[in-house]
Amino acid sequence: MTSLLILNGPNLNLLGQRQPEVYGATTLADIERLCEAKAKALGLAIEFAQSNDEAVMIDLIHKARGRHDGIILNAGAYTHTSIALMDAISSVALPVIELHLSNIHAREDFRHTSYIAKVALGVICGFGASGYPMAIEALNEALK
Active site (catalytic) residues:
23, 100
Bridge pairing between strands 96-100 and 70-74? parallel
Task: Compute the Cα dihedral for 22, 25, 28, 34 and give only its sign.
Answer: negative
Which strands sit side by side in the sheet containing 45-50, from one edge to the other?
A: 45-50, 3-8, 70-74, 96-100, 122-125
Closest C-alpha to 73, from 2, 13, 123, 3: 123
